[in-house]
Amino acid sequence: MFDNIGFSKIDDFRIYQASRESLALAERFIAEGKEANREFLKNHKTIKPKLPISGSFIYAHPANYRGRPTLNYTVQDWVALLRELKDTGMNTVIFQACAWLELETAFYPSENFRNFKIWNVIEPMLEAAGMEKMTVFMGGMGSATGWKEIFEKKTVDDEKNLHIRCYRELIKKYEKSFHGFYFAPETIYMGKRDKSWEFTMNNLYREILSEIKNAAPGKAILLSPGTRYYEGREDDFCQSWLALLKNVPLDIMAPQDSIGTCLNNLQFASKTYPIWKKICDEAKIKFWSNIEIFERKDKIILEDNDYSTPADYRKVYAQMEVAEKYAEKLICWEAPYYLSEKYAGETARQLKEKLTLLSRTEN
């Protein structure tokens, strides 16, 4: 969806912005996905899930929409936000990215990336998370380019070293203040195998994650790739990921359900989860699920700097209902904005109310 990427300025920071041509193409599959989800929900009895959402991604700012920027948050601002999440039943946060490559920004006092524009977001967040006893996963270097593009624009070693330098610096500065790592790049199976690409990606994943694991062996590593279902290619989906993960020291797989983005939809969720479960079982990796609690807008207007709204709770319940049959833990993208009435309106309030009730029922 975000090839031909440009930039848009919001206040004093930049976000990625797709071209109008790319967004016009995206609107077509968004329309199809939303219609498929509406049809599914017409014939689906709403069932209250048993497993609550207990974690969320957080950020300095989202990469491609306004959201709820935290660039200037104090410790007390972070405490207030984390308490919002705790009130909803969450005990885990995943900081999306400590730096963004194309945006040339870093969110901690970095020596490695001192030529980037720097905000100190990480330190007050970690202090607040310690005060609130939240489990924290730290994302490293974020990038808008897909993994395929790195072979055209730079060497694999360049890409690998950027990630390793970022993680090493986070370990050196903050190792005692967080619990695990989030490996930010989002690989996705796109309907056919490419064994040469799988081999290269396996090397890249293995070398980066081995470096992290050797430097901080007690910290878990989490990955959250996208999901798209292809009828009749279930085994290819599985084998492609097993090839990519061979000897990679990954601890937790938390695939995006991709239902908010309309890359996947509710009718296929029951077919994709067994594939992910099989992958995780064979690779001996914990299986979580990343529930997308947003809904794409029917018409995307570039100038809005927001492409999505909070999803109706019945849709989110349906997403959770199938996920909890397979996953140990549910996390989401993303609670700070999509569960905030102040930032995202009445639908956010309703969704937060329903998710909070689930967490209290579970406890």
Q: Look at the chain and report how many structural domains it folds into.
A: 1
pTM for this prediction: 0.94
pLDDT above 90: percentage of residues in the chain: 77
Question: For residue 263, what pLDDT is reported?
Answer: 92
The pLDDT of 74-84, averaged and rounded, is 98
Helix and strand tally (H, E) in the chain?
12, 16
| Residue 363 predicted with pLDDT over 50 | no
Instruction: Check the CA dihedral 143-80-295-355 and report its sign.
Output: positive
Please identify which residue in the block is written with the tokens 């549910």.
330
Question: For residue 119, what pLDDT is reported?
Answer: 97
CA dist., res. 45 & res. 342, Å (int): 30
CA dist., res. 81 & res. 115, Å (int): 30
| Residue 281 predicted with pLDDT over 50 | yes
Residue 306 lies in a domain: yes
CA dist., res. 246 & res. 229, Å (int): 22
| Residue 256 predicted with pLDDT over 90 | yes
CA dist., res. 257 & res. 268, Å (int): 10
Residue 202 lies in a domain: yes
Residue 1 lies in a domain: no
CA dist., res. 363 & res. 346, Å (int): 26
Query: For residue 172, what is the DSSP state?
Result: H
- Pull the structure tokens for residue 119: 């905000």
For residue 305, give the CATH number of its domain.
3.20.20.80
Residue 75 lies in a domain: yes
CA dist., res. 139 & res. 242, Å (int): 23
In terms of Cβ atoms closer than 10 Å to its own Cβ (0-12, 13-18, 19+), residue 348 is buried
Domain extent, residue 154, equals 6-362
Q: Which residues pair with 318 in a beta bridge?
A: none
